Amino acid sequence: MKILVINCGSSSLKYQCIDMNGEKLLASGLVERIGIEGSKLTHKKPGMDKKIIEEPMSDHKVALNHVLAALKDENYGVIKSVEELDAVGHRVVHAGEKYACSVLINEDVVNALKECSSLAPLHNPPNIMGIEAMQELLPNTPMVGVFDTAFHQTMSPEEYIYAIDYKYYEKYGVRRYGFHGTSHRYVSMRAAEILGKDIKDLKIVTCHLGNGASIAAVDGGKSVATTMGFTPLEGLVMGTRCGDIDPAIVTFLMANEGFDIKAMDTELNKKSGVLGVSGISSDFRDIDAAAKEGNKRAKLAIQVFNHRVKKHIGSHSAAMGGVDAIVFTAGLGENSPTNREAICKDLGYLGVEFDSEANKSRGEERIISKENSKVKVLVVPTNEELMIARDTKQLIDIDK
Ligand code: ADP
What is the C-alpha to C-alpha distance for residues 166 and 94, in angstroms, rounded to an integer? 21
Q: Does 399 score more than 80 pLDDT?
A: no
**What is the C-alpha separation between 6 and 3, in angstroms, rounded?**
10
pLDDT tens figures, 27-59 = 999 999 999 999 999 999 999 999 999 999 999
Our measurement of the distance from residue 123's CA atom to the centroid of its chain's CA atoms, rounded to an integer in Å, reads: 13
Q: DSSP labels for 107-170?
A: HHHHHHHHHGGGGSTTTHHHHHHHHHHHHHH-TTS-EEEEETTGGGGG--HHHH--SS-THHHH
Tell whether ligand 1 has an atom less than 6 A from the beta carbon of residue 186.
no
Over residues 100-109, mean pLDDT: 96
Provide the mean pLDDT of the chain.
96
Residue 398 has pLDDT above 90, yes or no: no
- pLDDT value at position 10? 87
Residue 212 alpha carbon, nearest atom of ligand 1: 2
pLDDT tens digits for 132-147? 999 999 999 999 999 9
* Cα(86)–Cα(88) distance, integer angstroms: 7
Active-site hit among 49, 73, 86, 148: 148
CB atoms within 10 A of CB 94: 24
- Confidence grade of residue 181 (pLDDT, cut at 50, 70, 90): very high
| 333 within ligand 1 shell (Cβ under 6 A) | no
Tell me: the pLDDT tens digits for 357-376? 999 999 999 999 999 999 99
Q: What are phi and psi of 42, to 5 degrees?
A: -110, 115
Model confidence pLDDT, tens digit, residues 197-206: 999 999 999 9
* Element (DSSP H or E) covering residue 323: none
> What's the rounded Cα separation, in Å, for the pair 387 and 186?
6
Q: How confident is the model at residue 83 (pLDDT cuts 50, 70, 90)?
A: very high
Q: Is the CB of 179 under 6 A from ligand 1?
A: no
Query: What pLDDT, on a 0 to 100 scale, did the predictor assign at position 35?
Result: 93
Residue 400's pLDDT is 65
- Based on the residue annotation, tell me whether 265 is a catalytic residue of this protein: no
CA 337 to chain centre: 21
% of the chain exceeding 90 in pLDDT: 97
What pLDDT is recorded for position 121? 87
Q: Is 285 in the pocket of ligand 1 (CB under 6 A)?
A: yes
d(CA 29, CA 70): 9
Tell me if 388 sits within 8 A of 87, measured CB to CB. Answer: no
pLDDT tens digits, 337-361: 999 999 999 999 999 999 999 999 9
